Chains A and B, each alone.
Chain A
């Protein structure tokens, strides 16, 4: 494959979070409403984890 795609760390985490949350939401809950809510919850936790991890690494680096 000749085409090369370069994503930053954050954009890669964002893409990963979106699609992993979709699958988690669909597979882990029964009703549509619960699936949407759980998917959104997972997405927030993924992105929140990125920020918390980032700040923790910034503190450790100091």
Chain B
């Protein structure tokens, strides 16, 4: 009886972390690892996603909006959405809304798309760490 009462708060804290870590990891890439004290992994993931996304913007890449209409635009939106806060800020600042006029802009569009997809993977990793499936 005493054991079951004592183990209850630990279970609750793990379940809260398993929700917070992926959520904050999506909003701020790498932060899901940082709040679990995985400092090096967190900063490496953060740097990778941030640099890819910012390079994409600098290369005049296109940021997809939710109401794309075309199926490829919707897929682009899903990819970009993975970057979380970076995507929200770029939409709020109206960045990346130009046409894809040259090859470099096309690479930039793919950079941002991939940055979002990589952040989805790191969010899943943060979740696995929070539930103890991975160290």
Contact = CB atoms under 8 A, between A and B. Distances in A.
A5 B41 contact: no
Contacts of A26: 41, 44-45, 122, 125
Contacts of A3: 58
A5 B58 contact: yes
Contact of A20 (B41, B103, B108, B118): B118
A12 B106 CA distance: 11
Interface in A1-55: 1, 3-7, 9, 12, 15-16, 19-20, 22-24, 26-27, 30
Interface residues of B, number: 29
Main secondary structure of the interface of B (DSSP, over half): helix
A9 B59 CA distance: 12
Contacts of B135: 30
A20 B44 CA distance: 11
B89 to A, nearest CB: 12
Interface of B: 41, 44-45, 47-49, 51-52, 55, 57-60, 95-96, 103-104, 107-108, 110-111, 114, 118, 121-122, 124-125, 134-135
Given A5-B55, A23-B118, 10 more contacts: A4-B104, A9-B103, A12-B107, A12-B111, A16-B114, A19-B51, A20-B118, A22-B45, A22-B48, A27-B125
